[in-house]
Amino acid sequence: MISKILNSQLTFGSKNSPVKPFKIETTQGALSVRELSKSNIKASSEFMFDCLVSSGDDGWDKYKNCDKATKKHVLSWFNTLTEHCLNKEDGNSTVLVAKDKNNKIKAYFNLQNFDEMDMLYKTGLKDAKTGFVQSCYVASDYRSQKVGEKILEKMLPTANGFFTDILLSAGKQAVTFYQKMGFVPCENISSESKKVTDFFMSKPDKDGTVLMYKSINKLEPCWNRLVKLIK
């Protein structure tokens, strides 16, 4: 029983470059940010679901009044994705959550390697040297207070030494925010990046999103590797 309790409290984020807990001051009080624990997987899935439905991005508004069975299925998928991160052994996944004084999740950010994108979108593009920001969610009542900016500032450095670049798929309304964080739209970087972008955007559910890129070091850019995987 004791080992079971201890196991449920372990964090799993970036084993190679862990993020120490920190606080973010907001008008509603301080948010406590730390790597996600196993015991918070279900709560994080509920939070992501609520954020996506309220935003309406990528057609998620259709789940606003969905039946219990449908919601349960979606939450189960979210749980599986997070548990997959938990079971990864390469140590290069970072999942951060911010909680308010009532222990409610108010932000969720997830950085992992690009292999995970194939699991999500079935692209056939796998590259362990490229990071992929899978999720960036901030509760609506905590936006415009630099919560996302401060979490990314802590999370992105965990990629140093392990990834050559970081990619993310941004909704058009979020492009300006990511540009402030050093990301640029991928399409016009090079002929290789355009080919990868066009291939990525041809996949289902990518309408209205922009593939964005941030270089981590001066090593070979990911395009030279990814473009070889496109058939």
Q: Tens digit of pLDDT for each residue in 120-167?
A: 566 677 777 888 888 899 999 999 999 999 999 998 888 777 788 898
Asked if the structure places residue 99 within a domain, the reply is yes
| Rounded-to-integer distance, Cα 153 and Cα 150, Å | 5
Asked if the structure places residue 195 within a domain, the reply is yes
Asked if the structure places residue 107 within a domain, the reply is yes
Residue 16 CA, chain-centre distance (Å), reads 18
What total of structural domains would you count in the chain?
1
Per-residue pLDDT reduced to its tens digit, 204-219: 555 568 889 998 877 7
Per DSSP, 37 falls in state B
Torsion of CA 27, 28, 33, 36, to 10 degrees: -140
Question: Do residues 203 and 122 touch, judged by C-beta distance below 8 A?
Answer: yes
In which residue are the tokens 């992501």 written?
48
% pLDDT > 70, the chain: 81
Asked if the structure places residue 11 within a domain, the reply is no
Task: Enter the tokens of residue 142.
Answer: 């905590």
Asked if the structure places residue 1 within a domain, the reply is no
pLDDT band at 109 (very low <50, low <70, confident <90, very high): very high
In which residue are the tokens 């140093």 written?
160
Q: Which stretch, 51-55, 70-74, 169-173, has highest mean pLDDT?
A: 70-74
Task: Enter the tokens of residue 68.
Answer: 């219990």
Q: Is 10's pLDDT higher than 50?
A: no
Domain that holds residue 196: 17-229
Q: What pLDDT is attached to residue 7?
A: 37
| Rounded-to-integer distance, Cα 119 and Cα 124, Å | 9
Whole-angstrom Cα Rg for the chain: 17
Q: Which residues contact 147 (CB under 8 A, 6 or more apart)?
A: 24, 26, 31, 98, 106, 107, 138
Asked if the structure places residue 4 within a domain, the reply is no
Q: Which residues contact 19 (CB under 8 A, 6 or more apart)?
A: 13, 34, 35, 94, 96, 154, 155, 158
Asked if the structure places residue 5 within a domain, the reply is no
| Rounded-to-integer distance, Cα 137 and Cα 105, Å | 10
Q: What pLDDT is attached to residue 183?
A: 93
Task: Enter the tokens of residue 31.
Answer: 């948010």
Torsion of CA 46, 143, 84, 12, to 10 degrees: -110
Task: Enter the tokens of residue 70.
Answer: 């449908």
pLDDT band at 26 (very low <50, low <70, confident <90, very high): very high
Tell me, what CATH number does 122's domain have?
3.40.630.30
Average pLDDT over residues 4-27: 65
Question: Do residues 177 and 150 touch, judged by C-beta distance below 8 A?
Answer: no
Asked if the structure places residue 8 within a domain, the reply is no
pLDDT band at 59 (very low <50, low <70, confident <90, very high): confident
